[in-house]
Amino acid sequence: MRFCSPMAVWFLVALLASPLVGQAPPTSLPPRVTASLWDAQHDKAVLATEGALQILSLQVSADGTTPSGSKSEKPSESFDCGRDLPSIQSIEIPFSQIAGMDFSPDKKYLLIAGGDPGQRGAVQCIQWPSTSPVRLFETQADGAPMPDVVTGVEWFPGGIQWIESHWAGSALVRRSDGSVLVTFSGHTGPVLSAIPWTDELAISAGLDQTIKLWRIADGMLVRSMDNHTAAVTQLIRWTSPEAKALLISMGQDRTVRLWDPLIGRLIRFARLPDVPVKMTVSDSGLLLVLLENGSVCKLSIPSLRIEETVSLGEPRATTLIQTGPSKWWFW
């Protein structure tokens, strides 16, 4: 079984896409998982592959028991490979590449970002959990088609708008009716990650090695942070026990960095043993970073001290989801 490269979906060759959203018969999980989400309410994993979503029912109980009936007795995180788990539903998406997904805060809608490389970008909205299509968003602020892949999407906490990152070099905030509230233009290359920060601010990062803080009211750049020495591929907002919001960035320079973006301060950074593919914060408060070599680095926050590195035995793994206390699946 083949997986996508660590830079994931944006560098893959485009495939033919289905013209309509529809449901295909359940099947075994196809290759190249490019994004994943966990729906705890329905015990379902949502995996993005080329041109389709795969829905898996993991049937996780409250105590962390998996479909096999096993239960980890380890005091730390356990990791299982999900590549052989069957898909219970396949949902075709009308473009060839899926780069990112996000549930609305009320879990009633799912946004799917992607497109056809070099040709168009799009965000598909579907109802959840019915998976009925709602609307396909394909235009920029001026009404022109998006010229390239939408590399990511994330809802604002209020659930009435979201932010998109674009391979074409911009990020934008879109209202749920499809209209564009503001466009952020200032990166000199593809934007790989964009997140809401407050109702007034947003943050983006990309191939130009910079992290940029934007004002939503008028699209003005507040500041640019350029300590990374290679592409910045992911951003996470982390709230400290003292309720202070800090930014965690991940880069192809093999580092994760902790910032106070409101003042542009780099607090500290950690150098990783290999190139990072994906990062996420566990329910135990650790930062877990999936690496190219098929291992996971566990880092404490905010010290960014590497506590442990766990080998998954799968160097082509591209994504992690947490389905219960200290319980993780990878693909």
Phi, psi at 277, each rounded to 5°: -110, -40
Is the per-residue pLDDT at 37 higher than 90?
yes
Is the per-residue pLDDT at 18 higher than 70?
no
Compute CA 63 distance to the chain's CA centroid, rounded to the nearest angstrom: 27
Neighbours of 88 (CB within 10 A): 12
pLDDT of residue 25: 41
pLDDT of residue 72: 40
Is the per-residue pLDDT at 66 higher than 80?
no
pLDDT of residue 58: 83
CA distances, 60 to each of 38, 78, 85, 163 (Å): 11, 14, 14, 31
Return the closest-CA partner of residue 321 out of 70, 29, 58. 58
Question: Tens of pLDDT along 187-237?
Answer: 999 999 999 999 999 999 999 999 999 999 999 999 999 999 999 999 999
Identify whether the C-beta of residue 55 lies closer than 8 Å to the C-beta of residue 48: no
pLDDT (average), residues 312-326: 92
Q: Considering the chain, what is the average pLDDT of its residues?
A: 88
Q: Rounded distance, CA 278 to CA 250, Å?
A: 8
Q: Rounded distance, CA 3 to CA 170, Å?
A: 28
Question: Tens of pLDDT along 125-151?
Answer: 999 999 999 999 999 999 999 999 999
pLDDT of residue 14: 32
The radius of gyration computed from the CA coordinates of the chain, to the nearest angstrom, equals 19
Provide the pLDDT confidence category of residue 31 given band limits of 50, 70 and 90.
low
Portion of the chain with pLDDT greater than 70, in percent? 85
Cβ burial, residue 130 (10 Å; 0-12/13-18/19+) = exposed
Q: Structural domain boundaries of the chain?
A: 8-273
pLDDT of residue 50: 82
pLDDT (average), residues 285-305: 97
Neighbours of 39 (CB within 10 A): 18
Q: Rounded distance, CA 76 to CA 325, Å?
A: 9
Q: Rounded distance, CA 202 to CA 164, Å?
A: 11
Return the closest-CA partner of residue 200 out of 163, 236, 167. 163
Instruction: Enter the pTM of the model.
Output: 0.86
Residues 6+ apart with CB under 8 A from 123: 111, 112, 113, 136, 137, 138, 150, 153, 164, 174
Compute CA 327 distance to the chain's CA centroid, rounded to the nearest angstrom: 19
Provide the pLDDT confidence category of residue 76 given band limits of 50, 70 and 90.
confident
In this structure, which topology does domain 8-273 adopt according to CATH?
Methylamine Dehydrogenase; Chain H (2.130.10)
pLDDT of residue 24: 41
The SS3 of residue 8 is helix
Provide the pLDDT confidence category of residue 60 given band limits of 50, 70 and 90.
low
pLDDT of residue 215: 98
pLDDT (average), residues 302-322: 95
Residues 6+ apart with CB under 8 A from 270: 255, 256, 257, 299, 304, 305, 306
Which of the pair, 235 or 64, is modelled with greater confidence? 235
pLDDT (average), residues 231-252: 97
pLDDT of residue 300: 98
Is the per-residue pLDDT at 70 higher than 60?
no
Identify whether the C-beta of residue 150 lies closer than 8 Å to the C-beta of residue 115: yes
Q: DSSP states of 119-132 as a string?
A: TEEEEEEEETTT--
Is the per-residue pLDDT at 22 higher than 80?
no
Q: Rounded distance, CA 184 to CA 186, Å?
A: 7
Portion of the chain with pLDDT greater than 90, in percent? 80
Is the per-residue pLDDT at 85 higher than 50?
yes
Q: What sign does the CA torsion over 310, 314, 317, 322 have?
A: negative
